[in-house]
Chain A
Amino acid sequence: GQQVKQSSPSLTVQEGGISILNCDYENDMFDYFAWYKKYPDNSPTLLISVRSNVDKREDGRLTVFLNKSGKHFSLHITASQPEDTAVYLCAAGENQGGSAKLIFGEGTKLTVSS
């Protein structure tokens, strides 16, 4: 089964609004959680990540919330802008001596309309 799941394949948000992207995972050994952004015909790039010892991390307009008991994490983008339009991939993994065998979700296509 899918170990990391993004249940919403797409999301549309008005410019200036808050985009909320969700991700669920199955393996409670996962201790590293990340969000990657991907433009069409480009490679994914890391947006923000968090380890399991915190339940929230902010970086500018981005905030990751981690709910370990619910095996769920989310990405909030405030003041959404048209350039935020992209596919967002969540990823989770277990840190194994520095590396993590990252498992990705299916992706959510975010469209920010002006």
Chain B
Amino acid sequence: DMKVTQMPRYLIKRMGENVLLECGQDMSHETMYWYRQDPGLGLQLIYISYDVDSNSEGDIPKGYRVSRKKREHFSLILDSAKTNQTSVYFCASSPGTGPSAETLYFGSGTRLTVL
């Protein structure tokens, strides 16, 4: 079963707290992504990971860091969360090879509220 799983689905944190968003995929995809979605802005790329410990900044990396120690797991970390990081966060993965190399498979999203 091809799936990208995000945990948790909903999360409420206070400003200054640390936040960990987890993502897993069971398709052995090389490439994984973290996006955030805000009204009127579409999906903005935070980080991309090409494989274990091979991570690259996206368009809005400030305030975030990532960790990929196993191919199937990609974590997004907010150290000392800010209210402007309230958003819906999507994890995605793509095969990286074959005719559908670039196709993104998205998780169901995490709705984060920072109070």
Contacts and interface: CB of A to CB of B under 8 A. Distances in A.
Interface of A: 6, 9, 32, 34, 36, 42-46, 49, 89, 91, 93, 95, 97-107
B96 interface: yes
A34 B33 CA distance: 16
A89 B44 CA distance: 12
Choose among B31, B35, B50, B102 the residue with the greatest number of A CB atoms under 10 Å from its CB. B102
13 contacts: A34-B103, A43-B108, A49-B102, A89-B43, A99-B30, A99-B50, A99-B94, A99-B102, A100-B94, A102-B104, A105-B42, A106-B41, A106-B42
Complex A-B, nearest 7 residue pairs according to Cβ-Cβ distance, in ascending order:
A43-B106, A104-B43, A98-B96, A106-B42, A99-B31, A100-B102, A98-B101
A101 B43 contact: no
A68 B42 CA distance: 23
B105 to A, nearest CB: 8
A99 B96 contact: yes
A43 B90 contact: yes
Interface residues of B, number: 28
Given A43-B108, A99-B96, A93 B42 contact: no
Given A9-B40, A44-B106, A46-B103, A103 B45 contact: yes
A69 to B, nearest CB: 22
Contacts of B108: 42-43
Choose among A6, A43, A44, A105 the residue with the greatest number of B CB atoms under 10 Å from its CB. A43
Interface in B60-115: 90, 94-97, 101-104, 106-109
